[in-house]
A and B are shown apart, each in its own frame.
Chain A
């Protein structure tokens, strides 16, 4: 009986600790949201109380004071970068797994080697290269590095999925008169949608949140993405914090919603390659 009591006591204690951690995780987010619904005066007077009256005007003014532009830029950069990354990495993984070609392993090692390197240390030379290619201060100055840096990881994910496909499936289709690209989009793509989803989500997490390249390779405010835009937004608002908090909420919601709806794919992407950021 004693053992049972001991177990029950531990269980209660552990669950209390876990709930306290939930509070630590959620409280700053909760604080952000409730204060984004107050007037600025109310925020300064009573930062911890719930708002007297839900005041959505902060969201409207955040959106109209430039956030809409940053948001749309982020959507544009994300869609283009993720689309190209997923397409190219799938194609590359297809080439590496379904054909017997010379130098296959060497090529795979070169691509995979990119995972080991941290290109962010080469900020200066990337900056110079983008200048030379006349891409500096264009959307492509973000999109191209985003694609290049995530390709090794995405090829790695795709390859680990494609490698289980039987090769004769592809050969049979070829005999039926399909060329290999038709095989790719008629056979490989439809049966690989789960790994496409995982890859796209892992890439979205990176692209939507990326800050350093967006800061260094783009100057023009009209093409800046949300993470950098929020900084400019903070500086231009001075102490209009309620509006800033509304902007922060708008910037955050897409990824949190995506995570809560597509958790399964997040976890799959995580486990296939333990790489952070």
Chain B
């Protein structure tokens, strides 16, 4: 039976190796790089200690990015988790005919299977001033005075990108909530029916508390997603106009591959890492505590 002793390690080894080399080591190395000044094609590194971090905390673009990511997180939390939950509850209620349920939820989910690049390109057409969909609709409903170069104005560009993200992911979060709602035992509702509870009472006192765990999980993944945002901004505005739509992800990319300041970019990476890993840690704690 020697084979049974060695074989499992052979089965596990490739996965373990890949995960260690391409997930763990880069993150550890990234910490190390953040204390150096270095460029992309040379192997020479100069140790600079905490200089990159000192520079970051005095960098206006860094704060713009941090604020934009935070804004992204807050709006996404309200729309994706808030509206996602409301939609899920409506679709699982008796207000919607069972035949229509599948139809609604399939359609709402579609945007989340489309690549972010494609969605961003389509939304450039939504926001473009002359032939854009949004301005077209505003004109049709008599609100011409609000037509706008949505992505060209520093005041609206960030919100326009965030709005696109909501369009893309509300259906995804809704689907997670639907699954959670379907796991609630029927008899809980039956008992409430006997007590004469209304639909709204049932939603507030049964459904919402029962999907509490999923609410926490979706909140965390939404917020983590908001701090890792890159593609949406890169494709639509590359951080402009000016630096008004820079987020941490695009600023990291710009520092590393356009300004060739790889050490500085690594330090930005470390900061994103801290924010997202604290959030992931909370998520794993929550999903574990729910299973016991």
Chain A residues at the B interface, C-beta cutoff of 8 Å: 10-11, 14-15, 18, 21-22, 24-29, 31-32, 43-44, 47-48, 88-89, 91-92, 94-96, 98-99, 101, 107, 110-111, 113-129, 144-145, 147-149, 151-152, 155, 174, 179-181, 184, 205, 208-209, 211-212, 215-216, 226-228, 230-231, 234, 241, 244-245, 248, 251-252, 255-256, 258-260, 263, 266-267, 270-271, 274-277
Contacts and interface: CB of A to CB of B under 8 A. Distances in A.
Contacts of B116: 209, 211, 227
A265 to B, nearest CB: 12
Given A107-B16, A111-B16, A124-B33, 9 more contacts: A25-B171, A89-B15, A119-B26, A129-B22, A151-B18, A179-B7, A212-B230, A251-B118, A274-B176
B122 A231 contact: no
Contacts of A212: 230-231, 249
A14 B231 CA distance: 34
A122 B14 contact: no
Contacts of A122: 26-27, 29-30, 269, 273
A178 B133 CA distance: 63
A91 B11 contact: yes
A88 B30 contact: no
24 contacts: A15-B100, A18-B100, A18-B104, A22-B107, A29-B122, A44-B131, A88-B18, A91-B14, A92-B12, A111-B19, A119-B26, A121-B27, A121-B228, A121-B276, A181-B7, A211-B230, A228-B117, A234-B121, A251-B115, A259-B110, A259-B113, A276-B221, A276-B225, A277-B228
A39 B30 CA distance: 49
A216 B253 contact: yes
**Interface residue tally on B, bucketed by range:** 35 or more
Interface in B31-89: 33, 40, 87
B256 A124 contact: yes
A248 B269 contact: no
A252 B179 contact: no
A181 B14 CA distance: 15
Contact of B30 (A91, A121, A149): A121
A119 B269 CA distance: 10
Interface stretch (B145-153, B187-195, B279-287): B279-287
A99 B8 contact: yes
A152 B22 CA distance: 12
Contacts of A124: 30, 33, 256, 262, 265-266, 269
A116 B11 CA distance: 23
Contacts of B122: 28-29, 32, 248
Binding site of A, secondary structure by majority: helix, strand, loop or mixed? Answer: helix
Contact of A270 (B114, B169, B179, B252): B179
A121 to B, nearest CB: 4
A208 B117 CA distance: 11
A146 to B, nearest CB: 10
B108 interface: yes
A148 B21 contact: yes
Contact of A174 (B4, B91, B169): B4
B256 A209 contact: no
B117 A227 contact: yes
A113 B109 CA distance: 29
Given A92-B11, A95-B11, A121-B272, A27 B26 contact: no
Contacts of B161: none
A100 to B, nearest CB: 9
A227 B232 CA distance: 12
B23 interface: yes
Contacts of A15: 95-96, 100
Given A18-B104, A248-B122, A271 B179 contact: yes
Interface centre among B18, B25, B91, B110 (most CB of A within 10 A): B18
Interface centre among A15, A95, A149 (most CB of B within 10 A): A95
Contacts of A116: 277, 280-281, 284
B106 A114 contact: no
A121 B273 contact: yes
A228 B23 CA distance: 23
A277 B117 CA distance: 13
A120 B100 CA distance: 39
Contact of B175 (A98, A174, A270): A270
B117 A18 contact: no
Contacts of A155: 15
Contact of B108 (A21, A216, A252): A21
Contact of A119 (B22, B123, B171, B175): B22
Contacts of B115: 208-209, 211, 226-227, 251-252, 255
Given A47-B131, A147-B18, A248-B122, A274 B11 contact: no
Nearest to A179: B3
Contacts of A255: 113-115
Contacts of B8: 94-96, 98-99, 101, 180
Contacts of A101: 5, 8-9
Contacts of A114: 19, 23-24
A117 B277 contact: yes
Interface centre among A21, A26, A43 (most CB of B within 10 A): A21
